[in-house]
Structures are given as C-alpha cells and as structure tokens.
Structure 1
Amino acid sequence: MLMTKNQYFWLIYQKKCRVQTNYPINMADVLKPELIWIEGRCYRINDPAMEITAFQEHDLYENEAIFNDPDDDDEEDEFEIIMMDNNRYSTSMHVSKHYIGSIIGKKGAMKMRIERDTKTDIKIPRQGQTGYIMIYGPSASNVKAARRRVNIIVMSSRMKQKSTHFISIPMNSPDIIKNFENFKEIVLRDNSSRDLEESLFIKAQKLHITVGVMCLMDNEERLYVSKLFTEAKEKIIMPLIRDHLPLRIRLKGLSYMNDDPRSIDVLYGLVQEEAAPTGLLQNLTDALVEYFYKAGFMEKEYGREHVKMHVTLINSKYRSRSSEATTAEDKWKDRRKPRITFDGSEILKKFADYDFGVTELTDIHLSQRHSMGPDGFYQPTCVISCNKA
C-alpha cells in the first residue's frame, strides 16, 4: 500500500523515537510542534533536545517558498540586501562563533545543502577570524531564503544553550527589603525543618519579577537585544502603562512550585497591581515575552499560556555547597547532586497573607545572570525607564 508523504515522515519519526528513548510517542507533540519566529516569520521545529537530522531539516524548511523570482517576496525586511555587479545580490549577517559549527555541519554538509537549495554562496569567517557571514545569490529572494535558513539553525542551537540574561522587574524597594528581612528572621528562628538554611533565601537586594530568559552569546547579540528592548518601551511598555503611572506593585502572599508543601524547591511571593486595572501587569509581561519570542531570542515556557509572575524568596538550588569540595572534580560532582527540597508547610500556614509591601515600577532591566551590580541588584546590560516623559 502506498503511503502519503506525511505518513512516511510519521513512520520515520516513530522509528527515531523508539531508538532514542523508551518513552511512548505523544501524537500531540508531532501535530503541534514547537514554533519559532525568525524575522517576522513562524517556523515549526522538532524537539530541540534531539540532534538535527535530514528528516528534521526537511521539516524546518518544508514551507519555504521557491526562490526563482526576485519579485515574489515584497515583504519588508530589516536587514539590507545589496545589488552587486552582474545581477548578483549579497547580504551580511552576524552569527556568534558558538553557532558557526552548526551552520557548517559535519564535513560541511549543512552549509552545502543550504547553498544547493537556495542557489547561493555562503562565506563564513575561518576559525580565529572575525567578521560577518556573507551570502551571495542571483536574486534577493535567494539571499533572503539562505539567510532565513541560517537563522533557523542559529535559533535551534540557541534553544540548547543555558540562559545568560533575563528581563527583570526589580522588587527591592526599602519597604519590601525591610519586610523581607523580617520574614526571613522569623522563618529561620521558628521553622523546625532542618533542610531550611539561610543560604536558600535570595539576597534582599535581588528581589525581582522574572519576565523571561534568553541566551546572548556575544557583545553583538547583547547590543542588538538592547536595541530591541529600547524599542519595546515605545511599542509595548508605555502604551500599556502610561495612563496608570506611577504603577505600584504590591508583593503579598506566598505560593510554591511543587505539588507537596512538605517538599518545596521554590517558595515565592505573589504580585498584584495597586490602584490599577487587574491584569495590567500580566498583560505587560506577556506582551514582552511575545515580542522577544517573535524576534527569536526568547522561548515561551512550555505548557503555559501566560508568564508565571512571581518573586522568588527561597530556592533550594541556592543551598550552600559542601565545604569539603576543594578540587574542580569534587565541585563538579557536588553540583551534580540532586537538589534537596525543604518543608515549607509551616511557613505557608503562618505567612499565607504576609504583606511585604509596595514598590513603584520605575524601570525594567535586561539583567545578566549570576552577576551583581554596584547597587546589589543584578548587573544590567540595558535599563529602560518607565516614568512619564
């Protein structure tokens, strides 16, 4: 019996999954795969944890247009395409050195395939050299097509990297810091759980709402995202909050990430608008994630329609490492140990409605992870003001 193309790819996918895992195949994961946005266009992508294969490449590129007619694509792009002599077109693009290997592929196979499919010539700086990737082709459409395919590979590779930055809303007003320190003192004094220690509490100056995380591998990417962040102020942030400034945010009440209050990884504070429309803060965070998601720099949290707004107060991953680990190998083994949860049931009973206080939304940060600025908050890469002009 003849199979359709979709049936054939589904069969191949099943075989791959059986080889790589012992888990049952979820048809919904195939029918509704993860999507990524690149330069205003939406592409579907398979499980980023799996290595890119020829089958997955086909799935990534399946909906690309045919690139013969340079007048086919009248969509405006932010990047520049230059017409050269003899009806040749070119464009340049920055790609972090961390992704060059994925673009070239094993023995150059990936680069050659893109060149063959799009009828282009891709010039990549050699190892140790600096410079932009150059793409040459017989038409603007060919050049655009090759550029998009390179971007797809970069986005797929980016998803596998640990985040380096995050968008944050500081929640460290003097009032909140004072109440948080009081909360911390009482919890450490009265809580009977031996698994709860001072190192699990976040530093008071670092209290914040995490909007979303991203991976920025070099200074060029940081500069570009800072530019996008500044543009987001006028496009998204101010239109939403301008009529409600100064926007006051109250930190009140507790919740936790796990299912069992006796075994908690993260205990966090709840946030709400003060004298402003309910849902305004949620709309703001959702809009920012959508903006950077479509720009190709941020993923949406799997299974969530909205950003989970919270202020982390206690996190088991902050637990102090063993003081006996002195060598690099011992420290690595220490980091690989499973997290030890803590019993937060008594805290939740006693502080269910604890009011940490109010702060004004004065600015939003593009913050660096695992860093500290001179004021005790995370080192900023870019800060935008949310005050009225």
Structure 2
Amino acid sequence: MSREILAPPLQRMDNNRCYRVNLIHEDFGNQFAAMQHKRNQPQAANTGTAYTEQDLYAEDDDDEQEDTGSFHIEELPSGHYKLTMHVAQSFYGGLIGFKGSTKRRIESETQTDINVPRSREGGQKQVEDITIKGKTRINVMAARRKINLLVISLRKRMRPTHFACVPLNYGEIKERFCEFKKEVLTLNLPGIDEKLFQTEECIHLTLSTCVLLDTAERSKAVEILQSCKSFLSDLKTPFQIEVRGLEIMNDDPSAVRVLYARIESPELQKFADLALQPFLRSGLGFEDYERDHVKLHMTVMNNRFRKQLDDKSARSFDAREILKRYGDYNFGRAECNEVHLCVMHHTSGDDHGTFYKITGTLKFQKDIKKI
C-alpha cells in the first residue's frame, strides 16, 4: 500500500491542532497543480502557515487537450458556455435513459443543461446535434466526456455494421476455394451442406469491425481509413498474401461454428495492427477478441450463414473429417493493393463481381477514392 496512505503528510497548527494534507489526485486532470503541491509541500510543513486546498474543479486551460476529437466551445453573451456535439440518433434512447434518468444524472454531476433533439415526425432525417450548456468551460467538457463514454459503452453492445477488409474473390484463391468446396460437398459428410460455405464472390480477410450508424459516422470512418495511408511508408507494397491451412475458432472440432484459412503476410499483419488503433481511438471500432494483434483469417465456413437461411438448423457442425483431410490445404497466393470499408451482410456488384457494398477504399499505389 502507498506510503502516502499509511503515513500521510501532516500540517500542524496552533493549539496542538494537526491536520492531514489532502493530496491532489492526478486523475482529475490537474497535473500541473499536483506537481506544484509536491514541490511546495516541505515548505508548507516548516512554515506552519494555514494550508489552502487546491480547487479541483477550477478552470484548466489544458483540459481540452485530454480529448482527441475536434470541437468548439462557444462563450455566450451571458458568460455561460455552449458546445454542440454529434451523436447518432440510435444512441438517444440510451443517453436519455428511463424517463430521462440518465440525462438528468449527467446534468446533475456536471452542472450543465443538455438538450437532446426530438425525433422528427414523418420519417424526416435528424440533422440537429446535441447541445450542452454550462456556467464554466470545464463543466461543459465534463458533460461531453461522460456522453462520449456512454456512447462508447452503448456501441460495444451493438452488432458491427461495417468492416475493413482485403478482397480475395479473384484469381488463384477463388479457384482453389471453389475446388475445396466442391471436394468437401462430394464427401457427403453428415451435417455439411452448401449453406455453410462463404460465397466465392465474397471471399475476403477482415482487418477490423466497427459500428457506423449514420452518414456522419460513415464519413468519419472513411477519413480514418484514408489516414492509414501514412502507415504504408515503412512497408513494402503490394502486400504478398499466402492462404494455407485450416483452423477453427473454438477448441472442439466436433462442434464448430467458424472454419477459416490461415493467412501468411508479415507486412499486412503490421499494417493491420497499426490501422486498428485509429478506429479504436475514435470509438467507432472495437476488438472482437482480447488479443494484442489482429487475427488475419479468411472465413471458409460459418454456421451463421446457414442460420440466416434456416433458423432451425443446427448451432454448429462437425469439422473433424474436413480438418483431417484438408488441414494443410493450399488456397494459393494473392497481392493486396487495396483495403475496403464494407457494409455487413449487404452485397453489391463491383469490378470483382458481387462483393459486399463498399463505403470507402484505400488504394496503396494511387490516390484514395471514396465510393
């Protein structure tokens, strides 16, 4: 346990009075005041003068630097402060809470007034932003942070709507995938049917997933994807990809939900790990699994594909015979020249065929193109 807790600094006063000196915790964001207090603490103990506690909620010019997003706080003629921030309308319910309880709690804790636009009638699109008003700049900032944290928490409970991926639905890999699918179906294995397989037009490897709920969030995600071009300066492009071998997402090969092919591409792995971080910092993306790097893989069979077509089908399939026969199957090689931001479960025609609907594209050797 910290010595500051077991043996805290003391301030001795007249008439045999002795007080504990409250240390300023750096979590409040006032690190400069904390350092000043530590430097002045020995002098305060020797002089015997009264100790003045630092105001933890005073104005702090460095407070805005804690937030990475771009925003503007407007000072009103009344001396109060106002900030507008965009929040997707899908989060309004969680922000307001049951009978407005969540909104009132944030307002009470930050001493601000928060205005959440009402949904418009007749199916009109919502274009207004949330407005925060407060007596001080720091109160407005505190409310903004609480709303952002709440939105991140709510977003993590949602299913991904978009994903960044590398298309593999062409050339040798597509041909070898079709051969593999045909051979497996020829075996007539129990519980194995064509509905389990990924379609050859949609073969890809996923780099990251995210939840994008309106046009503003989709535009921001495309900008983040564009910014990832800076990571390519130290990498050799186009990325060389080799797809070989089969693995499963769980530990029991007799009850498998996802069967995937392994990806060998050191340069692409470096890029994927770097590109994931901006999406995580923005709050739009999140890690599907607790690991320190992106798991590059090409989904071959997924029980979810079958469940979408037949809700009464089995929850898993037996992949033991497939792994035994094709555990080291070679799907071939490909070059990676671009990364797409695509819509989940929504296909649309493109240059390679019927691929997922593309929201934005990062091309490695040409300028970035928005779609």
**Which residue identity lines up with residue 149 of structure 1 in the other structure?**
K
Tell whether 2:306 aligns with 1:314.
Answer: no
Matches within 5 A, 1:17-96: 66-73=56-63, 75=65, 77=68, 78-96=70-88
Decide whether aligned partners of structure 1 residues 240 and 265 sit closer, same or farther in structure 2, where only a CA change above 3 A counts: farther
Relative to structure 1, the CA distance from residue 169 to residue 143 in structure 2 (aligned partners, 3 Å threshold; closer, same or farther) is same
3-state SS in 2 of match to 1:312 = strand
For 1:123, the equivalent position in structure 2 comes to 115
Q: Map Cα deviations across residues 199-250 of structure 1 (whole Å, 9 max, x no partner).
A: 111011211111221111112211121122212222x3x1342xx1222111
State the aligned residue count.
303
Q: How does 1:241-320 map to 2 (within 5 A)?
A: 241=235, 244-273=236-265, 279-319=266-306
SS at match of 1:86: coil
2:173–2:334 contact (8 Å) kept in structure 1: yes
Partner deviation per Cα, 1:129-176 (whole Å, 9 max, x = no partner): 641111122332222111111111111111111111111111223211
CA distance in 2, matches of 1:321, 1:93: 37
Letter in 2 for 1:71: D
Which blocks of at least 5 consecutive residues in structure 2 are unaligned? 1-54, 121-125
SS of match in other structure, 2:238: coil
| Number of the residue aligned with 1:225 | 221
Q: Which has the larger radius of gyration?
A: 2
Match of 2:233 among 233, 236, 239: 239
Q: Is the 8 A contact 1:268 1:313 kept in 2?
A: yes
Shift of residue 319, structure 1, vs aligned partner: 1.8
User: Is 2:187 the counterpart of 1:212?
Assistant: no
Deviations 1:302-332 (A, max 9, x none): 432222211001112222667xxxxxxxxxx
Match of 1:140?
Answer: 137
Q: Judge which range, 313-322 or 92-101, deviates more.
A: 313-322
Contact 1:368 1:379 in 2 (8 A): yes
Does the 8 A contact of 1:195 with 1:340 survive in 2? no
Q: Which runs of 5+ in 1 are unaligned?
A: 1-64, 274-278, 323-333
Partner-residue secondary structure (3-state), 2:347? coil
Change (3 A) 1:92 1:272: same
318, 329, 344: which is aligned to 2:319?
Answer: 344
2:238–2:335 Cα contact (<8 Å) kept: yes
Counterpart residue number, 1:383: 361
Give the structure, 1 or 2, with the largest relative contact order (CA under 8 Å, sep 6 or more): 1
| Paired residues of 2:239 and 2:267 also in contact (CA < 8 A) | no
TM-score by length of 1: 0.72
Instruction: Give the stretch that moved more between structures: 160-169 or 100-109.
Output: 100-109
Q: Distance in 1 between matches of 2:158 and 2:94?
A: 13
Q: Distance in 2 between matches of 1:105 and 1:341?
A: 37
Runs of 4+ in 1 over 3 A off after TM superposition: 337-340
User: Counterparts of 2:170 and 2:115 in 1: how far apart (Å)?
Assistant: 51
SS of residue matched to 2:160: coil
2: CA distance, partners of 1:256 / 1:79: 44
SS in 2 for 1:158: helix
CA contact (8 A) 1:245 1:388 kept: no
Deviations along 1:260-310, one digit per CA (max 9) or x if unpaired, are 32332211111112xxxxx33222222222221121112223432222211
Kindly, what percent of the aligned residue pairs are identical? 35
Amino acid at match of 1:127: S
Contact map agreement 1:166 1:367 (CA 8 A) in 2: yes
Q: Is the alpha carbon distance of 1:283 and 1:66 closer, same or farther for their aligned partners in structure 2, counting shifts above 3 Å?
A: farther
Q: Show the counterpart of 2:190.
A: 194
Secondary structure of the structure 1 residue equivalent to 2:132: strand
Rate the CA distance shift 1:388–1:127 in 2: closer, same or farther, 3 A: closer
- Equivalent in the alignment of 1:7: none
